[in-house]
Structure 1
């Protein structure tokens, strides 16, 4: 059994630097394409436009030496430990992005188009998870 962390794809975004990236996706983050490695095509089988999903990313531009940051980058606010913030600057910078799928292409070059995401161009994608929902007793899980 393979127990390595594998990258399943990469974000293609107009965001190219941490300075221009919004602090959260609801702050005018752009739509982005996520290119999925074709080996994972079968894993995309039930994805559809309109689905809400969680993208887990590796925030590769993070400064892993930071343990405290000013919330939202505001130097007038007291520093906080990174584990109590959403700052990408942390020892293991995993990004959690709740997005809506706008388009799904399961062809030769699989991809998904997502609504606003604050990930930079080239950000590795680690996984795609459905947003948990409540099931009625008569629904199939």
Structure 2
């Protein structure tokens, strides 16, 4: 298996400082502080309503091939790729968030399920949330695991 390197483009600042269930992040306002060398890459983002934030589960201590969804031992084990568990082979997380404000190198977002200090590895605009939801037969924010 070949390796690769990912470098943070910024860090999450959140009132949540330890891992909690994903639903506990609803309504939470966080900021993403972009590193100075990447600030120019934010140009044009201010017009977006939603962004996809890719980050590293830096507090995860390894991975399991199978997990109980949401850590609930009453739920049957499932393959980690069929869940949103942080215990993943590459420890990469993704969160679709509402972008409230862009000011300088700071993004203000809502519903980012990442704790304070989480390294952000990429940000992408997310367009067509209604179109994609209809196409996929799901509603925005619908999660199975």
Give the TM-score category using the shorter length.
0.7 to 0.9
More helix by share: 2
4+ runs deviating over 4 angstroms? none
The match for 2:66 among 65, 68, 75 is 68
Q: CA deviation at 1:114?
A: 0.3
Q: Aligned partners of 2:83 and 2:61: how far apart in 1?
A: 14
TM-score by length of 2: 0.78
CA shift, 1:132, in A, is 3.9
In 1, distance between residues paired with 2:49 and 2:99?
5
Gaps of 5+ in 1: 135-141
Structure 2 alignment gaps of length 5 or more = 132-145
| Change over 3 Å in CA distance of 1:4–1:78 after alignment to 2 | closer
- Matched residue pairs, number? 126
Task: Tell me the alpha carbon deviations over residues 93-128 of structure 1, each in whole angstroms, 9 at most, x when there is no partner.
Answer: 11111011111112xxx1100011110110000000
TM-score (norm 1): 0.80
